[in-house]
Each structure stands twice: as C-alpha cells, then as structure tokens.
Structure 1
Amino acid sequence: MQLPPLPGSSGGLPVQMVLRSPDDFKTLYETGEKLKTAAYASGLFLYVQNDLSYDSPQAHISIDNAKASEMGVTMQSIADTLAVLVGENYVNRFNFHDRSYDVIPQVRGGERMTPEDLGRFYVKATSGALVPLSTVTRVEMRPQANQLTQFGQMNSATLEMLPAPGVTMGDAVAFLQSQPLPPGTSVDWLSDSRQFVQEGNRLLVSFCFALVVIFLVLAAQFESLRDPLVILVTVPLAICGALVPLWLGYATLNIYTQIGLVTLIGLISKHGILMVTFANHIQHHENLSRIEAIEQAAAVRMRPVLMTTAAMVAGLVPLLFADGAGSASRFSIGIVVVMGMLVGTFFTLFVLPTIYSFIAKDHRAAAKSPRARELATAEAPDVAL
C-alpha cells in the first residue's frame, strides 16, 4: 500500500468512513457491521474492516453487598486486594548488580489465568479473618470492545475499505453515503476519501472560475462574446479526454490531477485562439464567409497546432516514466495534461471549425463599417505624390 504523498493524509486504505454517534459502542459496532455487510454485498469493495470489534472477553465482578456487609468485607478491601494481586502496579525499585529494576507485586501467572482463579483469592475482613472472594463476589465473562475511540468528541468507529478494480472513488463514496444510518449517527471521512469529499465541490468552483477568467480576457481581446465561446468549446472535450486515465484506474482525482486539469484549460485554449484569430483576419481582409475562412484557417494553422501539442507532450513524457520519491504526483500531472492535449487537439482541428461556422461573429460586416474603413485608412502608409 503506497503511503499518501500529501502531508496530513492518514495512511491505510483509500476509503475510510468514520461513524460518529452519541450512543454506546455496542450500538455503534452493530451499525458498522451492517454497513460492512452491505459493502460486501454491493460488489464494489474487495476488503472491508471495522476497527471496532466485540471479540475481547472481559471479566466482570459483581459484588453481593448484603453478604459482604454481613461478613465484614468492605468495597475498599476488595479493590485493594485485586489491585495488588492482578493490577501489576509499580511500588518501588531495587538495585541488583548495578542495574535498577521495578518492583511489581502480583500473583504467579499460573494462578491468575482463568476467571475462577479470582474466586480463590482471599480478602481481609474487618474482623481480621480471610474471606474467599468467591463468597462475596460473582465473576461473569462478557465481550468487550477492543478499543474506545472518539472522533469530534463523539464515540466513533472507522470502516476501512479497498474498492474493487474499476470502481472509482466517487462510486464508492456515493454508495456509502446512500446507506441508511440510525438517528443521531453522522459520517466523516479519512484518507483519500476525505480529500475527495472535501475538495469535490472546490474542484468544480475552480474550473468555473478559470473558465470565467479566460472568457473575460478573450472577450476583451476579440471585442466579442461569441468568439470566446468558440475558443472554449474544446475545453470540456479536452477535460473529458483527460479524465479517461482516471476512469481506467491509472490515477486518482487528487490535488495533482486537479492542477493538471486547470493547467489544461489554458493550454488547450491556445489552439482555439490560433485558429479563430486567423479566421477572423481572413474574413476581415479577404472578405470570405465564415465557412471559407475557417476552412482556410484550419489548413494553415494545423501545423502550428500540431507542433505546439507535440512540444508540450514531449516535455511531459518524462513525468510519465518518473520514479523515486514524489513520482506518483508527477505522473498524475503528466497523464492528465498529455491525454487532455491529445484529445483536445483532435477536437480543435475537427469540431471547432464546425462550431465556428455556426456561431462565430461575421467580421465581413465589421470590415465594411465606416469605423473599420476609418481605421484602415489611418493604418495605411502615406503615399508620396
């Protein structure tokens, strides 16, 4: 199991579901076992482990108060006797051959192995007589929780799960979130599942913010709201291509793949800018229709687009074969950007021209406007007579 590369992430299996409840640990254990059974039945998980179990036997000593009072045995004397005989309490230290040792008084191991052995101990009554503990007590074996943990100041149990091959983190978390829970029981997450749940919405907000910023910059550059839409039409398609390796299980949706996806938005937009800028220039100066302009732009700009993609992919290939410390993070960034660039370039060359022919601005009309003629005259070089 590869340890998480991010600081603050807990180790262990990728999906860790924390059940929190004000109820006792027995109820919490039963809830965890029901979820464990449902997880196995779903076929989405190869391994499910509940860290809370009730397989630890514990001896419970019940005191007959009436009989103890009758025989002059106090609760304090019973507690003191058990503490000395089986409590393993440190009382002093002694030196032997220049070494110091702890003094821990207790009964021999063979005389305290079973619950019945506790009844053979003697406790001193107020009269000075020695009374067997079996006379005033009853020993009963009960199952006890192996650990008593709390999460967020509430009793907790953690289910660690390993998704089956081909099962994404989103599918695993969505299934667990759909399971019914008793009233008062809440869920938290650890490990990779915590990062997925906390940053899922943030990723969408980051993408939307990046798209809005790029759209506003392009709208100011092209002085149009339709041309930026044409340029950004390949962004969702490129992102879909970048998510294919994640769907195949080569990487997970983590902070590094998110960085790669945001970077991909800016890189793939450059291809659209190259084609749309050249098509607008042809419309303006050669008085061509949108279809004719984008056809010529696709043919002329195909080589720069392919060379840009080839250079970018070649620069990222070393990340795909990196090894050593941090190789998983570099691979996550590389695989997302490489696949996104390849798929986005394909759609830029074949899909963007179609979208341009339908919704792009007709720059022939702008070229015929008085303002355009005035600017063209101002830009024309002076001719000496």
Structure 2
Amino acid sequence: EFYLSVDRRRLAGYGLSVEELLRFVTSNVQGQVGINRIKIGGEEVVYSVKLEGYREFDFADLRELLVPTATGESVRLSDVASVGRREVLNRIVREDQQYQRLVGWEFRGPRKLGDRIRDVAVDATALPAGYTIEKERDIFWTDEEQRQIYTVLILAVILIYLVTAALFESLRAPFVVLLTVPLALIGVFLVFFYTGASFTRSAYIGVIMMAGIVVNNAILVVYHINEIRRSGTELKEAIIQGTLERVRPILMTMLTTVLGLLPLILFSETMDATIWNALALATIGGLIASTIFVLTSIPVLYYLFEGHSRSRATSAAPIPAGTPAGD
C-alpha cells in the first residue's frame, strides 16, 4: 500500500491543517471532491464531482503535487509529508496479544512425504528475534468432504441390505452378510499398522471397493447354504457342506484380486510413494482378513441367526416328524 506521513510542524508553518491536506490529496488521487444528490424529473440522482485528469494521475508524481496554502502560494507535498510504499497483510490476526501470520501450503502426494518436506522447510526457516513458528497439521478432510464420504458409506450399506434382503427373501440373512464388512476392517487396520503406511483418502476408496468384494463372497456362502437347506438337509450339515463347496471360488476371487494389486506395492520405493499404495493396501488387507472370516465366522453367525429363529418357531408350533427344515 502507499502511505502518507505528515510533518505536522512544517505543515503548520504554511498555515495548513492535516484535514485540509488530506482532503486535497484525496481529491487528486481519487478525483472525487464531493458526492451530492440532485432531483431530476422527480427522481433523486447521486452525482459526484471529480477533478479533470485524475485517471492519468501517477503515485510517482504524488511527491511533486503542489498544495495551495491560505496565503495563495503553493507548497510541494514532499516538503510537508513523506510518501512511500510498504507491504502489508490483507488482514491482521491476533491471539493472546500476539500477532499471527498464517502460511498455507498444499502438497499433492503421500501425506507422510508432504509432512517431511514441510518439516524440512520449517526447520530451515530463519526467523528474526521475537518471532516463533509453529507447525500445525492441516485438516484431513473438510466438512463437505466428510459429509460426502459418510453419505456414500451409509448409502452403500443400505443398498447392500436391500439387495441381499430381496435375494434371500429374508430380513435376517442380510445382517449376516453385512457383518463381513467390520470383520474385514480388522485386516485393513493390521496391514496399515505393520507397514506404517498413511491412511489417506485413497485408503477410504479402497475400503469401499473392498466392502463390495467381501460382501459378494458372503453372499456366495449364504446363498449356497440356503440352496442346500431347500433340498431337505439339516441346518448344521447344510452350513458345513455349503461352506466347503464355496472355499475354492472364494479363494480364487481373493487371490486374483490380491495378485493384481501387488505390483502397485512391490514396485514402489516406500509405502507412501504413490496415491495408489493406500488403495491397494486397504483392498489387500481387507480381502485376506475377510476370506478367513467368511469361511469361519460367517457360518457360525448364520447358525446362530437361523438356529435361534428355528428354535422359536419350534416352540410356537412344533414341526411334525419327518418334515424338512426350511427358511
């Protein structure tokens, strides 16, 4: 900004006041000497009077501006004031009686690498006496981004429930399928814990993609168990047979996906080298964990859900001997 520092003693020697000087300088800089209102045709119109040539006025010529005095003489502005230019902040922030200056930065890449680069830049910064610098991590997500990701997750769960409920024609079976998602998250957390990778936005995308795959595996098991039960097989035998017959397709699905994602990790210098590493790690960890839990925990949960409902139905209305168990 440009500033004007008035020498009051010299200005008083010419019989001028600070107000008169500032009014004259302002009229030359802005070209405006007054704002008035006038009625034309019954309507009030705002008009302003400006000095001729104000558009061509240059701040470099401000020092040579001749200011009229009360005696009719003129005095050069540089004789009664100093004109300069200085850098200022667009706003002033204070906290605990201390001035603050916020410096923003953006790094498009892995979070840990960005933090290391920021730390090196901050540590290499030389500050004058009386100044301190504090490092503050930026917000991982904005409020809008958080709302979007939570909305997507909720919609994904609702759609999975509706589809599986329509497929199984049951309101209980979809809960067995949905329980594979939190079980798969165990593998996601473990793989990030042991590799030391950063859980970035790409990792959330990988979790959503992984959830769709593990739910498909659970649907294969539950649907096949239901098919076997419809043929008249007892509940426990149907669960064992249906699970064993779906081991191979589930393992093939898991292995093909994991092997396809491994090159994203194996050919990277570090676990945070690219944005794809987090996506691959989240998917691989979730698939490996879900494969184990789908083949072990899901049959147990299915037995608990269906066994409990069957026992209640039996107590309400005993099934005649020889009648096969149904859904």
**Aligned position for 1:238:** 184
Kept in 2: contact 1:257–1:336 (CA 8 A): yes
- Alignment of structure 1 residues 349-368 onto 2, 5 Å: 349-360=295-306
How far 1:313 moved relative to its partner? 0.6
**Aligned position for 1:61:** 5
Choose from 168, 171, 193 the match for 1:222: 168
Establish whether residue 299 from structure 1 lines up as the match of residue 244 from structure 2.
yes
Alpha-carbon spacing, 1:295–1:63, altered in 2? closer, same or farther (3 Å): same
Kept in 2: contact 1:279–1:297 (CA 8 A): yes
Establish whether residue 313 from structure 1 lines up as the match of residue 258 from structure 2.
yes
**Aligned position for 2:200:** 253
- Alignment of structure 1 residues 126-165 onto 2, 5 Å: 126=69, 136-137=80-81, 145-148=88-91, 158-160=102-104
The amino acid that maps onto 1:265 is A
Determine helix, strand or coil for the equivalent of 2:200: coil
What's the CA shift string for 1:306-327, capped at 9, x where partnerless? 2221111112222334679xx8
Determine helix, strand or coil for the equivalent of 2:6: strand
Kept in 2: contact 1:77–1:123 (CA 8 A): no
What's the CA shift string for 1:37-82, capped at 9, x where partnerless? xxxxxxxxxxxxxxxxxxx9x97613528705527997379959xx
Write the distance in 2 (CA, Å) between the matches of 1:339 and 1:223.
31
Q: Where does structure 2 lack aligned partners over 5 or more consecutive residues?
A: 30-55, 93-99, 116-136
Kept in 1: contact 2:214–2:290 (CA 8 A): yes
How far 1:222 moved relative to its partner? 1.3
**Aligned position for 2:235:** 289
How far 1:332 moved relative to its partner? 3.4
Deviates more, 1:308-317 or 1:352-361: 352-361
**Aligned position for 2:36:** none
What's the CA shift string for 1:251-294, capped at 9, x where partnerless? 4432x43332222222001221222223223333353233x432
Write the distance in 2 (CA, Å) between the matches of 1:158 and 1:226.
54
Write the distance in 2 (CA, Å) between the matches of 1:140 and 1:125.
18
Determine helix, strand or coil for the equivalent of 1:351: helix
**Aligned position for 2:278:** 332
What is the Cα-based RMSD across aligned positions, in Å?
5.1
**Aligned position for 1:24:** none
**Aligned position for 1:172:** none
Establish whether residue 343 from structure 1 lines up as the match of residue 301 from structure 2.
no
Choose from 141, 144, 149 the match for 1:198: 144
Give the fraction of aligned pairs with identical amino acids, expressed as a percent: 23
**Aligned position for 1:43:** none
- Alignment of structure 1 residues 262-277 onto 2, 5 Å: 262-277=208-223
- Alignment of structure 1 residues 54-133 onto 2, 5 Å: 61-64=5-8, 67=12, 69-70=14-15, 75=21, 126=69
The amino acid that maps onto 2:249 is P
The amino acid that maps onto 1:253 is T
How far 1:161 moved relative to its partner? 7.7
**Aligned position for 1:211:** 157
Greater relative CO (CA pairs within 8 A, separation 6+): 1
Alpha-carbon spacing, 1:313–1:122, altered in 2? closer, same or farther (3 Å): closer
Kept in 2: contact 1:78–1:123 (CA 8 A): no
Write the distance in 2 (CA, Å) between the matches of 1:345 and 1:283.
23
Q: Where does structure 1 lack aligned partners over 5 or more consecutive residues?
A: 1-55, 84-90, 92-103, 107-117, 150-155, 169-190, 374-385
Write the distance in 2 (CA, Å) between the matches of 1:140 and 1:105.
9
Determine helix, strand or coil for the equivalent of 2:15: helix
Kept in 2: contact 1:245–1:251 (CA 8 A): no
Equivalent pairs, count: 252
- Could you state the TM-score of these two structures normalised by the residue count of structure 1? 0.49
Write the distance in 2 (CA, Å) between the matches of 1:262 and 1:202.
13
